[in-house]
Amino acid sequence: MIIAIIGPPSSGKGTLAREISKRINYKVITTSEILKEKAKKDENFRKVFEESIKSGKLVPTEIVSEIVYNEIKNQKNLILDGSPRTLYEANILKDFIDVVIFIKVHKEIIIEKMQHRLVCPNCGKSYNDLDLEKEIDGIKYKLPKILPKEDLLCDNCKVKLVKRVDDTIETLEKRIEEYEKHTLPIIQYYKCIGKKIIEIWLNLPVEELADKIINEIFK
| Residue among 99, 85, 86 at smallest CA distance from 26 | 99
Q: Is residue 118 a contact residue for Zn ion (CB under 5 A)?
A: no
Shortest Cβ 7–Zn ion spacing (Å): 22
Closer to Zn ion by CB, 93 or 120: give it.
120
| Residue among 115, 114, 205, 127 at smallest CA distance from 159 | 127
User: Which whole-number Å values give the CA distances from 87 to 18, 156, 191, in the listed order?
Assistant: 25, 35, 13
Residue 168: strand pairing partners: none
Q: What is the DSSP letter of 193?
A: T
Q: Is residue 158 a contact residue for Zn ion (CB under 5 A)?
A: no
Residue 201: strand pairing partners: 104
Pick from 103, 154, 161, 206 the residue near Zn ion by CB under 5 A: 154
Q: Is residue 146 a contact residue for Zn ion (CB under 5 A)?
A: no
Per CB under 5 A, contacts with Zn ion among 194-213 are none
Q: Is residue 121 a contact residue for Zn ion (CB under 5 A)?
A: no
Q: Is residue 1 a contact residue for Zn ion (CB under 5 A)?
A: no
Chain Cα centroid distance, residue 92:
19
Contact assessment for residue 216 and residue 198, using Cβ atoms and an 8 Å cutoff: yes
Q: Is residue 120 a contact residue for Zn ion (CB under 5 A)?
A: yes
At position 65, the amino acid (one-letter code) is S
Q: Which of these ranges, 8-16, 59-67, 81-89, 152-160, lies near Zn ion under the rule CB under 5 A?
A: 152-160
At position 165, the amino acid (one-letter code) is V
Contact assessment for residue 210 and residue 23, using Cβ atoms and an 8 Å cutoff: yes
Spatial separation of the C-alpha atoms in residues 43 and 39, rounded to whole Å? 7
Q: Is residue 122 a contact residue for Zn ion (CB under 5 A)?
A: yes
Shortest Cβ 161–Zn ion spacing (Å): 8
Q: Is residue 176 a contact residue for Zn ion (CB under 5 A)?
A: no
Tell which phi-psi region holds residue 56, choosing left (phi > 0), alpha (psi between -120 and 50) or beta.
left
Closer to Zn ion by CB, 136 or 162: give it.
162
Shortest Cβ 124–Zn ion spacing (Å): 7
Residue 146: strand pairing partners: 128
Q: Is residue 147 a contact residue for Zn ion (CB under 5 A)?
A: no
Pick from 58, 111, 123, 187 the residue near Zn ion by CB under 5 A: 123
Q: Is residue 119 a contact residue for Zn ion (CB under 5 A)?
A: no
Q: Which of these ranges, 13-21, 37-45, 153-161, 174-182, lies near Zn ion under the rule CB under 5 A?
A: 153-161
Q: Is residue 153 a contact residue for Zn ion (CB under 5 A)?
A: no
Applying CB under 5 A, the residues found at the interface with Zn ion are 120, 122-123, 125, 154, 156-157
